[in-house]
């Protein structure tokens, strides 16, 4: 909250016409801390995050493929986590998602069993205690599962990506956390991931799956009752094999765009296909990331209101971040350590500071890496985590030459042109006013 209006009024009066004539683009650097590992169990493959015990903090669930278990890490509130609790399962978990499937207002866990070709439901008692809620047959080698309301009845259904049967299984919720038998829809070769979003603006959730061996992405269009039309194939350039998918509004037009990550002959890549309306997508635009991306997520990592894209790169032991420059364009990727062998990561604000952090399972090490976001909020001149009256005084001092602190001067350069000057006034006032 800004209480010292005279301070920013002073900036306006001092800057004169320069402020209102300026066009600006704020610097958008992202900084991530080194990974902090938490020991889980053997061969963790997938992470998901939600508040599992009702304390308004984001917790993390990890599937441990070889240990036949999940690990539940409860958030201490400051970005650290309590030692994990392990829940032994009667199957081999691979992918995981979280949602209230039984309608009791707490978050349940759904996992894929890539050995016995089924999904398992774990019902939450409200305190992050989980009990078996049933298993359901799906296609062959299920990897990813999404929860969303597919038939418009207000409860959460399941959509499962099956790698070796090359199809998607739909399980409609009967209520109380039980599901109908799966209905299978053909997709394409080597389905690896799944994402749900209303792609054509008809108020129901469609599905996207990447098909690694087909160098393409498939869209399944929802008819509104959880019944899907034949797939639409969206080709990528030859040799670009997609592994992961998510949706996000990359260009700020209010429509979900398609984001795909995978590998080609030389490196990893991210492809962005902008939604042109009515389910029509533009051609893919490509950005390079490091080797072996296996997941892609979208979140605003730098407080600028645009979503950044981040991949976990298994071969490179890293995460790559592409900063959104607006209009669906991204800066070249920057890379950060993610521990050895990172697999399918989750994003969430683990320390409640207003930005998104990362959680990546490390399959070879049996750990979960928590990677905290250290990006400074634009306009936070004194580096205390918010933009307030104190920053206004420091900013004016930098511009007038009375504040010679080097860190303050660097943070006052909001447009990243190498100098703190009048061109930084507009973005500073926008940050101060919460724009």
Kindly state whether residue 9 falls inside one of the protein's structural domains.
Answer: no
Here the CATH number for the domain that contains residue 347 is 2.130.10.10
Check pLDDT > 70 for residue 93: yes
Same domain for 262 and 155, yes or no, is yes
| pTM, 2 dp | 0.89
Check pLDDT > 70 for residue 269: yes
CA-nearest of 258, 318, 325, 329 to 292 is 318
Check pLDDT > 70 for residue 395: yes
Torsion angle (degrees, nearest 10) of CA 382, 56, 85, 338: -40
Same domain for 325 and 206, yes or no, is yes
Domain boundary residue among 344, 371, 398?
Answer: 371
Check pLDDT > 50 for residue 268: yes
Separation of alpha carbons 371 and 356, rounded Å: 10
CA-nearest of 194, 276, 196, 283 to 240 is 283
Q: Could you give the number of structural domains in the chain?
A: 2
Which pLDDT belongs to residue 2? 40
Same domain for 356 and 400, yes or no, is no
Which pLDDT belongs to residue 434? 65
Q: Is 409 left (phi over 0), alpha (psi -120 to 50) or beta?
A: alpha
Which pLDDT belongs to residue 371? 99
Check pLDDT > 90 for residue 398: no
Report the chain's mean pLDDT, rounded to a whole number. Answer: 92
> Could you give the maximum distance between any two Cα atoms of the chain, in Å?
71
Least confident among 104-113, 261-270, 309-318, 398-407 = 398-407
Which pLDDT belongs to residue 23? 44
Kindly state whether residue 378 falls inside one of the protein's structural domains.
Answer: no
Same domain for 363 and 395, yes or no, is no
Same domain for 84 and 125, yes or no, is yes
Same domain for 417 and 358, yes or no, is no
Tokens read off for 43: 């061969």
Which pLDDT belongs to residue 24? 45
Check pLDDT > 90 for residue 70: yes
Same domain for 106 and 162, yes or no, is yes
Which pLDDT belongs to residue 392? 86
Q: SS3 of 3, please? A: coil
Kindly state whether residue 17 falls inside one of the protein's structural domains.
Answer: no
Strand arrangement of the beta sheet that strand 36-39 belongs to: 36-39, 367-371, 357-362, 346-348
Same domain for 301 and 233, yes or no, is yes
Kindly state whether residue 208 falls inside one of the protein's structural domains.
Answer: yes
Same domain for 362 and 396, yes or no, is no
Which pLDDT belongs to residue 9? 52
Check pLDDT > 80 for residue 120: yes
Query: What single DSSP character describes residue 194?
Result: -
Same domain for 124 and 188, yes or no, is yes
Same domain for 309 and 424, yes or no, is no
Domain that holds residue 351: 36-371
b/e map of 274-296 (b: 16 or more CB within 10 Å)?
bbeeebebeebeebebbebbbbb
Cα R_g (the chain), whole angstroms: 23
Which pLDDT belongs to residue 4? 43
Same domain for 323 and 416, yes or no, is no
Q: SS3 of 393, please? A: helix
Domain boundary residue among 322, 339, 371?
Answer: 371
Neighbouring CB atoms inside 10 A of 66's CB total 13
Which pLDDT belongs to residue 18? 44
Check pLDDT > 80 for residue 424: yes
Check pLDDT > 60 for residue 22: no
Q: How confident is the model at residue 151 (pLDDT cuts 50, 70, 90)?
A: very high
Kindly state whether residue 7 falls inside one of the protein's structural domains.
Answer: no
Percent of the chain at pLDDT > 90 equals 77
């Amino acid at each position: 909250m800004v209480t010292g209006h005279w301070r920013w009024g002073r900036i306006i009066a001092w800057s004169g016409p320069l402020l209102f004539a300026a066009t600006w683009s704020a610097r958008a650097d992202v900084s991530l801390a080194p990974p902090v590992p938490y020991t889980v169990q053997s061969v963790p493959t997938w992470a998901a995050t939600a508040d599992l015990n009702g304390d308004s903090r984001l917790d993390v669930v990890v599937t441990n493929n070889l240990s036949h278990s999940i690990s539940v890490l409860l958030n201490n509130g400051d970005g650290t986590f309590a030692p994990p609790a392990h829940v032994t399962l009667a199957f081999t978990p691979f992918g995981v998602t979280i949602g209230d499937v039984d309608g009791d207002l707490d978050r349940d866990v759904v996992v894929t069993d890539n050995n016995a070709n089924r999904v398992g439901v774990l019902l939450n008692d409200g305190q992050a205690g989980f009990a078996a809620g049933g298993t359901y047959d799906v296609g062959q080698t299920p990897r990813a599962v999404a929860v969303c309301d597919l038939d418009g009845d207000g409860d959460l259904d399941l959509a499962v990506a099956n790698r070796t049967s090359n199809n998607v299984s739909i399980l409609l919720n009967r209520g109380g956390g039980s599901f109908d038998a799966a209905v299978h829809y053909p997709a394409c070769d080597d389905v690896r991931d799944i994402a749900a979003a209303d792609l054509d603006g008809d108020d129901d959730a469609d599905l996207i799956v990447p098909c690694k061996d087909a160098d393409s992405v498939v869209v399944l269009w929802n008819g509104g009752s959880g019944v899907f039309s034949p797939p639409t194939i969206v080709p990528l350039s030859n040799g670009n094999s997609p592994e992961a998918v998510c949706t996000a509004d990359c260009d700020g037009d209010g429509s979900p765009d398609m984001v795909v990550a995978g590998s080609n002959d030389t490196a990893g890549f991210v492809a962005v296909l902008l939604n042109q309306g009515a389910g029509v997508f533009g051609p893919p635009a490509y950005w390079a990331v490091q080797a072996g991306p296996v997941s892609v997520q979208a979140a605003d990592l730098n407080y600028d209101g645009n979503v950044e894209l981040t991949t976990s790169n298994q071969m490179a032991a890293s995460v790559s971040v592409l900063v959104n420059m607006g209009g669906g364009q991204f800066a070249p990727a920057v890379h950060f350590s993610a521990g050895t062998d990172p697999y399918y990561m989750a994003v969430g604000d683990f320390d409640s500071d207003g930005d998104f952090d990362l959680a990546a399972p490390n399959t070879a090490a049996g750990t979960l890496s928590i990677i905290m976001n250290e990006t400074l909020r634009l306009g936070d001149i004194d580096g205390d985590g918010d933009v307030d009256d104190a920053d206004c005084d420091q900013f004016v001092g930098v511009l007038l030459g009375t504040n010679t602190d080097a860190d303050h001067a660097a943070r006052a350069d909001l447009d990243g042109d190498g100098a703190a000057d009048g061109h930084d006034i507009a973005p500073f006032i926008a940050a101060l006013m919460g724009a």
